[in-house]
């Protein structure tokens, strides 16, 4: 950690601690919730309606106010706030991998699940979306296969937006900052009566870009993005609720500020390549949720749909020369249906039965121009995945002895993956068909069990669990050898133990978890032999072990304080290079996995008495530390531990609020991505210091 970071931290925290004003009580909707209620909040990602303290899993919850006060605009900005959570920036919204506890995937299907307002996001190209009007973010770490099935080896992220049944009113926020940043966010939430609610929210943001392409003399990464969300809730009877949530986002984005890296001098050159690169995307989702709650059970039906249309144009060689240029278009239609029947009440025996089915269809077309040979390759992929699952969970309270809880779950998960592939090549004006193939379907049938024990002692909840995680295999979109067409499924066994407790008369809430993950056939991203693209291959055997802890308190002079820390030691046990069997990576750290994540957040609200100018002043400071991160299997290239500091001062008068905010206040520089291509090394650097103001009117 640099002296500049330490100095800024001391300065910010001293400002929070040193100001004198009338103390005020924090309400339950504060940036860090009161500790006597935090553990009792129901985790909506838990299908059995468990609270944070009850659920036998490592859980992080970020409230809507914390999201606003931290200026969190997208999923990658919760990196390190959630222990052992890492989502790097790869140059555009297209490539948005998430890693939890060392488990993640750079390409193809994700290894961490994402749900937004009941809609499953099965495609990583949808993960990087704009945040606005959120109620909370929940992150469950560790395999969630029993309740969620496929591709949740690392955990589940559940994003919940505001509901008009819980929040009424209107708001408008205007935003402006450096680097040509400006935007507007507004929403209206109304409730006709206790039976019908409705809302409409809109969000727009723009920036001119943070990096200059010195060859073209323009900004690489300008962004325009607009989002809409509509929500309708109807309760025709006391036992029935019908809800529909529709969301739309359109983004036009410049991208890929990749610069050549000199490995000898450890310096980064300017971004400089001769063809502009972009990623434009349309994202739409809709969820129809029916809840029926008679006396003895609850029934929920969730029907969801998601559409994605993305267009990428990229100078694949990232140099001043015309070598390769790739145009890629991807369309996805995904439809899913889930049915859940669960017991009601707090009996000694509780149960849950569920069924899930989905169909996901991709149409992808890729055109690759090779200027040296004056040829264009046209590749088309018609990809269809269908699956179904049945799952059950039983929970026995006061098992053998009082306050001991035994919970067990099992899921049968089936999937069918079918690919039709067409490959044409154009040279000297002549089109030639090189491949037109429907590959044999990849089929899987998996059993995903989970068993946990929980024990409550006074204000503490202890738990231990064993669960199996699973990620499906699939087809590589880019391959040059027949044996590289497919990659195998990967699976894991997760062993975990933890404690959640309230201390000092409920003024401190703390949790501590240790974990050990043993997984086989880990899917590893590698370059194809020619270096023109990437594919997935399987490592033999890998291990990830570590711990995570979070402490929340308002114990210190009514200051809200959050401290979180995660440690991950993820290594290859047995893994040999695909092209050179004499090279093995046994004992090496798995790339793209930060060993440490740490966050320190402090916030305080001051009430201003007898003032006609101000009612309140809020201060918020956030430090996030991440690293070290190895970029390759050989562990030669890495990003050392780095930290960034964000801050915000808010001035509030009745319904009007002015925020002055800053991100990366120390202007710390670090690498967010590293790769090698065509014999050259490239990096993407982080965004520089940003400062700005928000003006919000709440009605």
pLDDT in tens, 84-93: 999 988 889 9
Instruction: For residues 469-476, give the mean pLDDT.
Output: 86
Residues 6+ away with beta carbon under 8 Å from 193: none
The b-or-e profile of 302-330 (16+ CB within 10 A means b, else e) is: bbbebbbbbbbbbbbbbbeeebbbbebeb
Residue 10: Cβ-neighbour burial (10 angstroms; 0-12, 13-18, 19+): exposed
Percentage of the chain with pLDDT > 70?
93
Instruction: For residues 317-331, give the mean pLDDT.
Output: 94
How many whole angstroms separate alpha carbon 478 and alpha carbon 533? 7
Instruction: For residues 633-639, give the mean pLDDT.
Output: 92
How many whole angstroms separate alpha carbon 486 and alpha carbon 474? 6
How many whole angstroms separate alpha carbon 668 and alpha carbon 666? 5
Indicate the pLDDT class of residue 523, thresholds 50, 70 and 90: confident
Beta bridge partners of 297: 343
Tell me: pLDDT of 95 over 90: no
Q: What are phi and psi of 217, to 5 degrees?
A: 60, 45
Q: Helix, strand, or coil here: 441?
A: coil
Tokens (6 digits) for 328: 């890629």
How many whole angstroms separate alpha carbon 153 and alpha carbon 103? 7
Tell me: pLDDT of 29 over 50: no
The answer to whether the predicted template modeling score (pTM) of the entire model surpasses 0.85 is yes
How many whole angstroms separate alpha carbon 188 and alpha carbon 232? 12
How many whole angstroms separate alpha carbon 569 and alpha carbon 575? 16
State the chain's mean pLDDT as an integer. Answer: 89
Query: pLDDT tens for residues 203-224?
Result: 999 999 999 999 999 999 999 9
Domains by residue range for the chain, with CATH? 3-185+255-273+324-698 (2.40.170.20)
Indicate the pLDDT class of residue 38, thresholds 50, 70 and 90: low
Indicate the pLDDT class of residue 474, thresholds 50, 70 and 90: confident
Q: Are 497 and 514 in contact (CB under 8 A)?
A: yes
How many whole angstroms separate alpha carbon 686 and alpha carbon 79? 14
Instruction: Give, in degrees to the nearest 5, the angle at Cα 487 between 485 and 491.
Output: 170
The residue among 690, 685, 648 whose CA lies nearest residue 665 is: 690
Query: pLDDT tens for residues 484-499?
Result: 788 888 899 999 999 9
Residue 33 has what pLDDT?
45
Q: Are 222 and 208 in contact (CB under 8 A)?
A: yes
Tell me: pLDDT of 78 over 50: yes
Q: Cα dihedral angle (49, 55, 58, 62), rounded to 10 degrees?
A: 40
Rg (alpha carbons) of the chain, rounded to whole number: 25
Dihedral sign, Cα of residue 653, residue 657, residue 663, residue 665: negative
H-helix or E-strand spanning residue 145: helix 145-148
Q: Helix, strand, or coil here: 695?
A: strand
Indicate the pLDDT class of residue 14, thresholds 50, 70 and 90: very low
How many whole angstroms separate alpha carbon 177 and alpha carbon 201? 22
Tell me: pLDDT of 185 over 50: yes
Q: Helix, strand, or coil here: 9?
A: helix
Tell me: pLDDT of 477 over 90: no
Instruction: For residues 658-674, give the mean pLDDT.
Output: 96
Tell me: pLDDT of 21 over 90: no
Tokens (6 digits) for 601: 């957040």
Instruction: For residues 127-133, give the mean pLDDT.
Output: 95
Instruction: Indicate the DSSP class of residue 101.
Output: T
Q: Are 464 and 497 in contact (CB under 8 A)?
A: yes
Instruction: Indicate the DSSP class of residue 480.
Output: S
Query: pLDDT tens for residues 343-377?
Result: 987 789 999 999 999 999 989 999 999 999 999 99
Residue 526 has what pLDDT?
76
Residue 18 has what pLDDT?
39
Q: Are 510 and 550 in contact (CB under 8 A)?
A: yes
Tell me: pLDDT of 6 over 50: no
How many whole angstroms separate alpha carbon 23 and alpha carbon 19? 11
How many whole angstroms separate alpha carbon 280 and alpha carbon 311? 5
Indicate the pLDDT class of residue 13, thresholds 50, 70 and 90: very low
Q: Helix, strand, or coil here: 491?
A: strand
Instruction: Indicate the DSSP class of residue 24.
Output: -
Residue 39 has what pLDDT?
62
How many residues comprise the chain? 699
Query: pLDDT tens for residues 528-585?
Result: 777 666 778 888 899 999 999 999 987 777 688 999 999 999 999 988 776 667 788 9
H-helix or E-strand spanning residue 66: helix 64-69
Q: Are 324 and 316 in contact (CB under 8 A)?
A: yes
Tell me: pLDDT of 30 over 60: no
How many whole angstroms separate alpha carbon 155 and alpha carbon 58? 10
How many whole angstroms separate alpha carbon 477 and alpha carbon 109? 12
Indicate the pLDDT class of residue 42, thresholds 50, 70 and 90: confident
Measured in whole angstroms, how far is the alpha carbon of residue 176 from the centre of its chain?
26
Instruction: For residues 669-688, give the mean pLDDT.
Output: 92
Instruction: For residues 64-74, give the mean pLDDT.
Output: 92
Tell me: pLDDT of 5 over 60: no
- Say which range, 302-311, 317-326, 436-445, has the weakest mean pLDDT: 436-445
Percentage of the chain with pLDDT > 90?
71
How many whole angstroms separate alpha carbon 81 and alpha carbon 32? 13
Most confident of 41-50, 258-267, 278-287: 278-287
How many whole angstroms separate alpha carbon 548 and alpha carbon 69? 24
């Amino acid at each position: 950690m640099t002296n500049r970071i330490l100095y800024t931290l001391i300065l910010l925290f001293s400002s929070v601690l040193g100001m004198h004003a009338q103390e005020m009580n924090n309400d339950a909707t504060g940036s860090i919730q009161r500790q006597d209620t935090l553990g009792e909040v129901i985790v909506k990602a838990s299908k059995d309606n468990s609270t944070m303290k009850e659920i036998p899993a490592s859980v992080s919850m970020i409230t809507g106010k914390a999201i606003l006060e931290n200026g969190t605009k997208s999923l990658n900005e919760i990196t390190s706030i959630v222990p052992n959570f890492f989502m790097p920036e790869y140059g555009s919204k297209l490539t948005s991998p998430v890693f939890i506890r060392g488990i993640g995937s750079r390409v193809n299907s994700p290894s961490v699940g994402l749900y937004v307002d009941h809609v499953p996001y099965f495609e990583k190209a949808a993960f990087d979306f704009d945040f606005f009007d959120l109620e909370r973010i929940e992150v469950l770490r560790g395999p969630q296969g029993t309740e969620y099935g496929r591709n949740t080896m690392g955990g589940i992220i559940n994003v919940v937006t505001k509901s008009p049944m819980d929040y009424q009113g209107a708001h408008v926020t205007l935003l402006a900052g450096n680097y040509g940043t400006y935007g507007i966010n507004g929403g209206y939430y109304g409730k006709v009566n206790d039976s019908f609610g409705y809302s409409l929210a809109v969000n727009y943001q723009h920036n001119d870009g943070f990096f200059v392409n010195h060859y073209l003399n323009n900004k690489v990464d300008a962004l325009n993005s607009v989002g809409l969300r509509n929500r309708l809730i109807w309760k025709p009877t006391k036992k029935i609720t019908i809800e529909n949530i529709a969301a739309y986002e359109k983004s036009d984005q410049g991208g890929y500020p990749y610069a050549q890296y000199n490995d000898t001098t450890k310096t980064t050159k300017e971004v400089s390549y001769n063809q502009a690169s972009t990623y434009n995307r349309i994202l739409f989702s809709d969820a129809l949720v029916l809840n029926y709650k008679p006396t003895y059970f609850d029934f929920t039906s969730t029907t969801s749909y998601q559409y994605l249309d993305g267009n990428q144009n990229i100078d694949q060689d990232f140099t001043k020369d015309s070598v390769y240029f790739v145009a890629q278009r991807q369309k996805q239609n995904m439809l899913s249906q889930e049915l859940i029947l669960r017991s009601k009440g707090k009996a000694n025996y509780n149960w849950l039965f569920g069924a899930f089915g989905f169909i996901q269809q991709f149409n992808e077309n890729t055109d690759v121009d090779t200027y040296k040979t004056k040829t264009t390759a046209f590749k088309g992929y018609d990809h269809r995945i269908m699956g179904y699952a049945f799952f059950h969970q039983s929970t026995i309270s006061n098992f053998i002895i009082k306050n001991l809880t035994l919970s067990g779950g099992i899921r049968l998960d089936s999937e069918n993956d079918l690919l039709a592939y067409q490959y044409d090549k154009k040279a000297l004006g002549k089109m030639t068909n090189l491949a037109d193939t429907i590959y044999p379907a990849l089929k899987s049938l998996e059993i995903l069990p989970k068993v946990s024990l929980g024990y409550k002692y006074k204000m503490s909840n202890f738990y231990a669990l064993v669960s199996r995680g699973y990620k499906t295999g699939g087809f590589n979109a880019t391959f040059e050898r027949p044996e590289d067409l497919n990659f195998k499924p990967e699976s894991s066994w997760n062993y975990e133990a933890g404690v959640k407790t309230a201390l000092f008369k409920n003024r401190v809430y703390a949790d501590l978890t240790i974990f050990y993950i043993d997984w086989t056939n880990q899917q590893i991203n590698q370059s194809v032999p020619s270096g023109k693209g990437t594919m997935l291959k399987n490592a033999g055997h890998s291990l990830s072990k570590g711990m995570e802890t979070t402490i929340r308190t308002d114990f210190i002079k009514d200051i809200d304080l959050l401290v979180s820390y995660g440690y991950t030691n993820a290594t290859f046990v047995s893994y040999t290079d695909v092209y050179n069997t004499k090279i093995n990576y046994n004992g090496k750290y798995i790339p793209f996995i930060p060993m440490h994540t740490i966050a320190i957040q402090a916030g305080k609200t001051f009430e201003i008495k007898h003032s006609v100018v101000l009612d309140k002043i809020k201060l918020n400071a956030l430090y996030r530390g991440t690293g070290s991160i190895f970029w390759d299997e050989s562990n030669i290239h890495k990003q050392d531990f780095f930290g960034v500091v964000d801050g915000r001062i808010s001035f509030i008068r009745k319904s009007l609020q002015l925020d002055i905010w800053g991100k990366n206040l120390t202007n710390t520089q670090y690498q967010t991505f590293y790769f090698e291509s065509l014999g050259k090394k490239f990096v993407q650097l982080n965004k520089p210091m940003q400062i700005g103001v928000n003006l919000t009117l709440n009605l």
